[in-house]
Amino acid sequence: MKNWFYFIVGIVAVFSAITHTIEGLTTALPALREANLEYMTQSIFTFNYHIVAADHFGIGIALIIMAFNKNTAITKSAAFVVIAINFARVVVSVIIIFTTMHASGSAGTFWIPAIANSVCILLLFMGMRVKEIPPAR
């Protein structure tokens, strides 16, 4: 293994995809079906929920593969893309936190993904700093 940081973030992303899917199937999507919303609104929400799970899973698998890759230039470029995606997730989480705090006075559990994505960004930056180990003579 060339980069433990990428591997750890990859495992966290795959685990996040699994827990996101389980939570959606058991809580969020059934509540959405019972809500008094238009069919199109429910369809869009369901589609977006599945896209997020697929996104987490795809990024996780990519990072796990990157952890074993010998070409650090390619993995650093890909890591920048993953950092940008995670930064966008943090921004969206913060917007949701402040919106819900303004509307209801409570941020609920929206702090969890914001903190988790921030930690993942930090680990990815640390992984980008890992130097290539020269082969033993």
Residue type, 15: F
Q: Are 3 and 126 in contact (CB under 8 A)?
A: no
Does residue 121 belong to any structural domain of this protein? Answer: yes
H or E stretch including 135? none
The answer to whether position 74 is within a domain reads: yes
How close are the terminal C-alpha atoms of the chain, in Å? 19
**CA dihedral of 128, 129, 134, 136, whole degrees rounded to 10:** -100
Question: 30: helix, coil or strand?
Answer: helix
Does pLDDT of 33 surpass 80? Answer: yes
Residue 75 belongs to some domain of the structure = yes
133, part of any domain: no
Range of the domain at 77: 4-128
When pLDDT is cut at 50, 70 and 90, the band that residue 65 belongs to is very high
* Section 13-27 average pLDDT: 91
29 CB-near residues (< 8 Å, 6+ apart): 46, 49
Give yes or no for residue 136 having a pLDDT over 70: no
Q: pTM for the complete prediction?
A: 0.79
Instruction: Please tell me the total count of domains within the chain.
Output: 1
Q: How far apart are CA 59 and CA 52, in angstroms?
A: 11
Bin 69: left if φ > 0, else alpha if -120 < ψ < 50, else beta.
Answer: beta
What is the gyration radius of the CA atoms in the chain, in angstroms? 18
Q: Calculate what percentage of the chain has a pLDDT beyond 70.
A: 94
Query: pLDDT tens digit string along 79-102?
Result: 999 999 989 988 988 888 888 887
* 136 within a domain of the structure (yes/no): no
**pLDDT tier for residue 18 given thresholds of 50, 70 and 90:** very high
Residue 48 amino acid letter: N
Is residue 134 a part of any domain in this protein?
no
